[in-house]
Structure 1
Amino acid sequence: MSKDTRPRVVAIGGPTATGKTALSVALARKFDGEIISADSMQIYKGLDVGTAKVTEEEKNGVPHHLVDFLAPDQIFSVADFVGLADGTIQEITARGRLPFVVGGTGLYMTSLLSGLNFAPEKTDPALRDALNRRLAEEGPQALYEELVRVDPEYAAGVHPNNTTRVIRALELYSATGRRMSDEREASRPAQPPYRSLCLCLTCRDRALLYRRIDARCEEMVRRGILEEAELVYRNRERYRTAAQAIGYKEFFPYFEGTQELNDCVNRLKQASRNYAKRQLTWFRRQTDAVWLYLEDGDAAQRAAREITAFLA
Structure 2
Amino acid sequence: MMKKLIVLVGPTAVGKTATSISLAKAFHGEIISGDSMQVYRQMNIGTAKIKQDEMDDIPHHLIDIKDPTENFSVAEFQSKAKKLIDDIHDRNKLPFIVGGTGLYVNSVIYDYDFSSSDSDQTYRMDMENYANTYGEIALHEKLKRIDPDSYLEIHPNNVRRVIRALEVYHVTGKKFSEHNHQSKVSPYDVTVIGLTMERELLYERINKRVDHMIEEGLIEEAKLLYKNGVHHCQSVQAIGYKEIYDYIEGRLSKEDAIETLKQNSRRYAKRQLTWFRNKMNIEWFDMSTDREKKLKEIHEFIEGKLF
Given the two structures, how large is their TM-score scaled by the length of structure 1?
A: 0.94
Residue in structure 1 matched with residue 202 of structure 2 by the alignment: 209
Q: Whole-Å Cα distance in 2 between the matches of residues 239 and 50 of structure 1?
A: 17
Residue in structure 2 matched with residue 32 of structure 1 by the alignment: 28
After TM superposition, give the deviation of residue 121 of structure 1 in Å: 3.0
Cα RMSD (Å): 1.4
Q: Post-superposition, which runs of at least 4 consecutive aligned residues in structure 1 deviate over 4 A?
A: 235-239
Q: Whole-Å Cα distance in 2 between the matches of residues 107 and 155 of structure 1?
A: 12
After TM superposition, give the deviation of residue 258 of structure 1 in Å: 3.9
Amino acid at match of 1:288: N
- Alignment partner for residue 307 of structure 1, among 293, 302, 305? 302
Structure 1: gaps (5+ residues): none
Residue in structure 2 matched with residue 266 of structure 1 by the alignment: 259
Comparing 99-108 and 146-155, the one that deviates more = 146-155
* Pairs within 5 Å for 1:12-91: 12-91=8-87
Contact 1:45 1:68 in 2 (8 A): yes
Residue in structure 1 matched with residue 146 of structure 2 by the alignment: 150
Residue in structure 2 matched with residue 125 of structure 1 by the alignment: 121
Structure 2: gaps (5+ residues): none
Deviations 1:32-61 (A, max 9, x none): 100000000000011000000010111011
After TM superposition, give the deviation of residue 232 of structure 1 in Å: 3.3
Given the two structures, how large is their TM-score scaled by the length of structure 2?
A: 0.96
Contact 1:20 1:201 in 2 (8 A): yes
- Percent of residue pairs identical: 42
Q: Whole-Å Cα distance in 1 between the matches of residues 123 and 237 of structure 2?
A: 23
Comparing 52-61 and 259-268, the one that deviates more = 259-268
Deviations 1:51-100 (A, max 9, x none): 00010111011000001111111111000000000000001011111101
What SS does the corresponding residue of 1:39 show, helix, strand or coil? coil
Q: Whole-Å Cα distance in 1 between the matches of residues 67 and 232 of structure 2?
A: 9
Amino acid at match of 1:182: E
Amino acid at match of 2:303: T
